[in-house]
Amino acid sequence: MNNSKNKTWSIVLSMGLVLGLIGVSGLVLSDDDDEYEGNGRWRQSRLDVAPVNNAFYKEECGSCHFPYQPGLLPARSWQKLMGGLEDHFSENAELDAADARQLTAYLTANAADTSNYKRSRGISRSLAKDDVPLRISTTRYFKRKHHELSARMVKNNPEVRSFSNCQLCHTRAAQGAYNEHQVKVPGYAGWDD
């Protein structure tokens, strides 16, 4: 065992303890050491958005696609989206009124504009107050983060097809981790080579 590895582990473990104390669940410890952000700063949290902690949401809104974390869109977007489920991106995703109400409450209570997680704040800040995007992938923040990806890597990539498939490239998306070191574009060994 070399020293730096032990050091990394002890930092990872103490961060895990701190996060545990502030009530963040679903933290998975791993031995990749990308907490260091440079300039003497260490990443506060390995998670970019709060993970989904609602089984009903995962089941209902994760049956056709990845269950997007509520912290990826502001409350006004979730309200609009939940109000139009019968025509949801050309699909019918309608729910009965009580279920829709319950999920809307979950989404809005944990929305980007009420969350302190890094990406939630970034997404919120990138939007004008009267902007009500129905997609995460059309927000200014998202576009800025993905502008280097070509159509060949996404739309025309038979293994991806759409930016909506976060989990295909972000290997730890389900845990709420979207960090650029945990990305792999299917079919591309090193997307930024």
Q: Which residues bind ligand HEC (CB under 6 A)?
A: 48, 60-61, 63-65, 68, 72, 81, 85, 88-89, 91, 93, 103, 119, 135-137, 145-146, 148-149, 153-154, 160, 162-166, 168-170, 178-180, 183, 185, 191
Which helix (DSSP H) or strand (DSSP E) does residue 36 occupy? strand 36-38
CA-wise closest residue to 69 among 122, 115, 21, 126:
115
CB of 113 to ligand HEC, least distance (A): 15
Q: Which residues have CB under 8 Å from 62's CB, separation 6+?
A: 52
CB of 114 to ligand HEC, least distance (A): 16
Q: Which is nearer to ligand HEC, 121 or 145 (CB)?
A: 145
CB of 115 to ligand HEC, least distance (A): 13
The number of CA neighbours under 13 Å toward the Cβ of 157 is: 18
What would the two tokens of residue 126 be? 């990138």
Q: Which is nearer to ligand HEC, 6 or 171 (CB)?
A: 171
Q: Which is nearer to ligand HEC, 5 or 155 (CB)?
A: 155
